[in-house]
Structure 1
Amino acid sequence: MSFVNSLAFTAITFIAFTALVAIISWWKTRGDKLDTQDGYYLAGRGLTGPIIAGSLLMTNLSAEQLVGTNGQAVRIGMGPIAWEVTAAIALIVLAFWLMPQYLKTGLTTVPQFFEQRYDAGTRRLVSFIVLLSYIVIMLPNILYAGAQVFVKIFDLPGLTGWSEFACIAIVCVATAIVGSIYAICGGLKAIALSDSINGLGLIVGGLLVPVFGLIVLGQMHGGGFAEGLDTLLHANPEMMNAINPADAPEPYMPWPLLFTGMFINNMYFWGTNQSIIQRTFGAKNLAEAQKGAVLAGFLKILTPLIVVIPGIIAFHMFGPAAQANGGDAGYPMLVAAVMPKAVLGFFAAVMFGAILSSFNSVLNSASTIYALDIHRPMFNPTASDAYMVKVGQRFGTVVAIVSTIMSPFMLYMGGITTFVNSMFAAFNTPILICLVCGFFWKKVPTIAPKIIIPMHVVLYFTLQFGLRNVIPFLKDIHYLYFTAFLFVVDMIVMWFIVKKNPRPTDFVVQDVKAVELTPWKHRKIYATVTLAVMVLAYIVFSPLVLGA
């Protein structure tokens, strides 16, 4: 066996690339002031469009998507591209309508706006909900999904003799330690820089998986890449159809949801989720924020090459075996089977970087929300920026420990994409409604969020985890239909509240002159191109072209 095909070479290349990213990030941020609120949490408000786009993409594109979305594709085919390509619409809405409002107010966190618009109680309510979701849902699943990849690729149970649970736990701990160093010590700029570097590596490494997968699939049918591509496109054409029936159950994506429940879900994730839009808050001006958001939207249309196509290749190669753990076994099995040993270390490094990107971004956002939205206003209003940075770092350490302890138990949750998205649906809609109505509906009173948010959470859990188990009609209803239905209910209640108890004076967004607010002059052209490519993707993966 040659040295480049050995485990030692894999380990060396893994460590080398991981270290290179860390060194570059440190070198580029070594002189930055991290003892100020803007310096630590918003990268000094100096991020440019490409950096924002790369960080947005990498914060979202992690092992959770590589494992979970490919896991759905193993089971149902191209339907899961909805989670990727339709994000372009939300990112364009963010760029055109929400970003001007966000940057005008000079926000550091989304909950800050809820106090400006409503009151301190609403800010704390939203902060606690978001923090709970980060600690209980997002961070454990990020760590677990990453661990799944490494455990399967390197067959750690076979190599060590330990159980799968033990191997996952150990990898989760190692990932959390490294990710915490980035998030707690480096601040947002270090995270954004490492995201961009790892993003380039992940694009290269991620694209190698379907390329090598098609070669191996072709060899299984007596040919090479061309034979593998022909098998992918024509052996089971129903797997290439992204247009799912209106009554299709989860994990399918019924087509009406593309314009209803999915749109609402995407608007929360890309327009309201602190761990995502904190990058745009750190933009040097509105033009750079818009440039980053629109570019990220275009890149999201291309990500199915990395997070969906490999799952379908795994379906053709492994059949039912790839559908273990709700399909989550498919992607790691494919990587282990097709990735040449010579590049496995590099691929493992960029995968590790993708995991770190999501983990440290969410951890940094959790620290930001706790320090600025809970600790300072509730316990120490006069605290200095330097002290609040330390508070955030300490809280981040506690959160990292708690989420790491929880992460191995995600092994027993089934498909992770379904688990994460169905749980987030409990609160994403009312927070989005209260934020958007707060910006654009001047008469919404202070009491509205205190009614809308608890009401929605109770109704959603009643539908998703109660009534669907006792009413046959609801059993196979996709949970995003519940999101769409409750959105209408929430808006009706909001209208009733405004009608009966309007705000005495109109709310006006104040411009604090945090950054230059001149829009990006090319935004309409690039947004139009992005939306056209999104529509084209659905035409290609439909019965009109490749699907059946």
Structure 2
Amino acid sequence: MNVTGFICFLLFLGLVAAVAIYNTRKMRLNTTSAYFMGNRTLGFWMVGFSLFLTNMSCNTLIGENEFVYTNDMSVMCWGMSSVLAMLIVAEFFLPVYLKMGAITTPDFLGQRFGPRLKKFVSVFFLASYVISLIPTILYGSAVALNGIFHVDQVLGVSYFAAIWLLVVLVGIIGCCYTVLGGFRAITVSDLVQGAGLLIGGILLLVFGLRYLGQGSVLQGVETILSAKKEHLNAIGAAHDPIPFSTLFTGMFLINLYYWGMEQYIMQQALAARSLSQGQKGISLAAFGKLLAPLFLNVPGLIAVHLYPQLTNTATVFPKLVADVLPPVITGFIAAVVFGAAISTFNAGLNSSGTLFIMNLYKQWRRSAGDRELVKAARIFQLSITVIAMAFSPFISRFDGGFYYYIQKMSSFFSVPVFTVMIVGFLTKKVSETAATVGLLFFIVAYAVSQLVFDLPVHYLHVLAILFLVTVALMLAIARWKPMAAPYSPKNMAVVDLKPWRNRHWFFGLLLAFMAAAFLLFSKAGIAQ
């Protein structure tokens, strides 16, 4: 372990913690609005950086660079295509949530279909966070930190033991942020760590290319552009792990769900002080997604040339950081990676508490005041942290790769909920019965398609097919037994609903850059 790098790592973490404590020192966390939503006071800078950093977890840093190393740049499609989904959310979804005064995205289901479906989907979300989201965040951060600081070698323990130790460390620190500081402390730290991530990504890119080019950045670029060019292609063929056609089927649906309905993501935008600030914040995060390949994918390209025979491909990113950077910057990058992990972990933990307290516990304890609700939230968050810490190290035993595990597990929870919510958005007479049947049908059908039958169809295409079938099923049930009275949304807004006036110009510019990125990383561009 490099002592200088480790000291710099601790110093940057201390700086972030100090900034968060200073900016939240006068804030009382004795109400659910303060603890879960920061009293809805976020400006667009906080919304944007918080969205960006929550999405930019260790899972993504580890998984996408590993995918580029083992396959090609087609994994970039997830991030690039999400720009379109984010703009749709800013334009259409966010105004609906803010108009109804939503704290959680299932609140919409409660108002549109009824309380039973709201509770069911809240439990569904919580299950996905405990099984998939929080454990993978802990595992990904542990892999990254062990790769940078070689904890297993320093302590003389097995790789599995080192991962478990680091999982516990990240879990404890992240839990302290959430339980002691609340939502506002999380977003303040995200602002600092998000800026650090952008700076760190540029530094890693420069030093990595210079290391590859034996002292010359330009020579490093030339090496990437002249050899093993199959890794530069982001336009996957039909037989590739991520065919380009999936952008228009299951990937689009998952991205819309993730940015517009996933509680731990949408909670950042729901805490905006106005619709305009929320739309600007989502647009800022979308701009960050356009820059993200610099540290999500390009390090993987550099590693292709530096390490042609890696046995543990999940270590691509941390190995590159440890090998090419000076000790001071290594510590800084490690702190940024750690901060990204903590940010996503905190968001997942905070949203889990929000869902449990506001949608389940509060319905059971109707007489409970804010103090009891906040106390119960803290106990619940501590409990699921312990569960996740016990489970997450075993992800290393999963056959198929870390990134594959994340995408496969999330698909079981995402598109079924998306289907019900989008039908709720677009129709007025589909009943709670139709929505419940549709949700259960989708879950069972997808599970059977993936676990029982070996279908010769990409799982993202399967999701799109099931989406269409489920929508047709829900509409058929609604035609047979519609709601007694058509749904009429209520205006319960607690923030200004005036939209951002110049948003469409900025949206168009973002979409143009998205298309240019696909063109660049294609056989018509640098992958010729």
Fold shared by both chains (TM-score > 0.5)? yes
Task: Give the secondary-structure state (helix, strand or coil) at the position aligned to 2:307.
Answer: helix
- Secondary structure at 1:513 match in 2: coil
Find the aligned partners of 1:8 and 1:70 in 2 and give their Cα distance. Answer: 26
The 3-state SS of whatever aligns with 1:22 is helix
Answer whether contact 1:85 1:302 (CA < 8 A) is retained: no
Give the alignment of 1:45-84 within 5 angstroms.
45-84=40-79
Residue 342 of structure 1 aligns with which residue?
328
Whether contact under 8 Å (2:8, 2:328) holds in the other structure is no
Counterpart in the other structure of 1:529: 509
Report Cα offsets for 1:14-47 as digits up to 9, x if no partner. 1111111111111111111311121111111110
Map 1:69-108 → 2, pairs under 5 A: 69-108=64-103
Aligned twin of 2:222: 230
Q: 1:118-517 residue pairs with structure 2 within 5 A?
A: 118-219=113-214, 224-245=216-237, 247-250=238-241, 253-321=242-310, 324-325=311-312, 327-377=313-363, 379-413=364-398, 414-468=400-454, 474-475=455-456, 477-517=457-497
Partner Cα separation in structure 1 for residue 198 and residue 498 of structure 2: 32
Deviations 1:403-443 (A, max 9, x none): 01111111112422211111111131121121122122111
CA distance in 1, matches of 2:106, 2:230: 44
CA-atom RMSD, angstroms?
1.3
SS in 1 for 2:432: coil
| Superposition deviation, residue 207 in structure 1 | 2.2
CA positional deviation for 1:52: 0.3
Change (3 A) 1:513 1:265: closer
Q: Which runs of 4+ in 1 moved over 6 A?
A: none
Q: C-alpha distance in 2, partners of 1:198/1:427?
A: 29
Partner Cα separation in structure 1 for residue 190 and residue 35 of structure 2: 16
Residues 460-488 of structure 1: per-residue CA shift (max 9 Å, x gap): 111112101xxxxx25x322111111111
**C-alpha separation between the residues in 2 aligned to 1:492 and 1:404?**
41
Q: Give distance in 1, aligned partners of 2:415 and 2:50.
A: 24
CA distance, structure 2, for counterparts of residue 164 and residue 181 of structure 1: 26
SS in 2 for 1:86: helix
User: What is the Cα deviation at residue 156 of structure 1?
Assistant: 1.8
Which amino acid counterpart does residue 248 of structure 1 have in structure 2? H
Determine if contact 2:321/2:333 at 8 Å carries over to the other structure: no
User: What is the aligned residue count?
Assistant: 527
CA gap 1:51/1:98 in 2 versus in 1, 3 angstroms = same
Aligned-partner SS, 2:512: helix
| 8 A contact 2:286–2:510 mirrored in 1 | yes
Contact 1:248 1:478 in 2 (8 A): no
| Distance of 2:298 and 2:438 partners within structure 1 | 39
SS in 2 for 1:336: helix
Task: Give the secondary-structure state (helix, strand or coil) at the position aligned to 2:412.
Answer: coil
CA contact (8 A) 2:423 2:471 kept: no
Task: Report the more deviating stretch, 142-151 or 335-344.
Answer: 335-344
Cross-structure match for 1:3:
none
User: Structure 2 stretches of 5 or more lacking a match?
Assistant: none
CA distance in 1, matches of 2:134, 2:493: 34
Q: Which letter does structure 2 place at the counterpart of 1:451?
A: V
* Counterpart Cα distance in 2 of 1:453 and 1:491: 10
Residues in 1 aligned to 2:156 and 2:71: alpha-carbon distance in whole angstroms? 34
Q: CA deviation at 1:10?
A: 2.1
What is the CA-CA distance between 1:328 and the residue it aligns to?
A: 1.3
Q: Provide the residue aligned with 1:518 in structure 2.
A: 498
Structure 1 unaligned blocks of 5 or more: 1-5, 469-473
Structure 1 residue 210, shift from structure 2 partner: 2.2
TM-score (norm 2): 0.98
Give the AA of the match of 1:18: L
C-alpha contact 2:275 2:500 (8 A) present in aligned 1: yes
Q: d(CA) in 2 for partners of 1:395 and 1:235?
A: 52
**Are 2:28 and 2:34, in contact at CA under 8 Å, matched by a contact in 1?**
yes
SS at match of 2:418: helix
Residue type at the aligned position of 1:244: G
The amino acid across from 1:299 in the alignment is: G
CA drift of 1:342 comes to: 2.5
Q: 1: CA distance between counterparts of 2:138 and 2:413? A: 23
Contact 1:427–1:456 (CA<8 Å) still a contact in 2?
A: no
Higher mean C-alpha displacement, 202-211 vs 297-306: 202-211
Measure the CA separation in 2 of the matches of 1:420 and 1:237: 27
The 3-state SS of whatever aligns with 2:526 is: coil
**Deviation of the 1:532 alpha carbon:** 0.5
Deviations 1:310-354 (A, max 9, x none): 111111110131xx44x3121122112111112222111111111
Normalized against structure 1, the TM-score is what? 0.94
- Give the distance between the partners of 2:3 and 2:318, measured in 1 at CA: 20
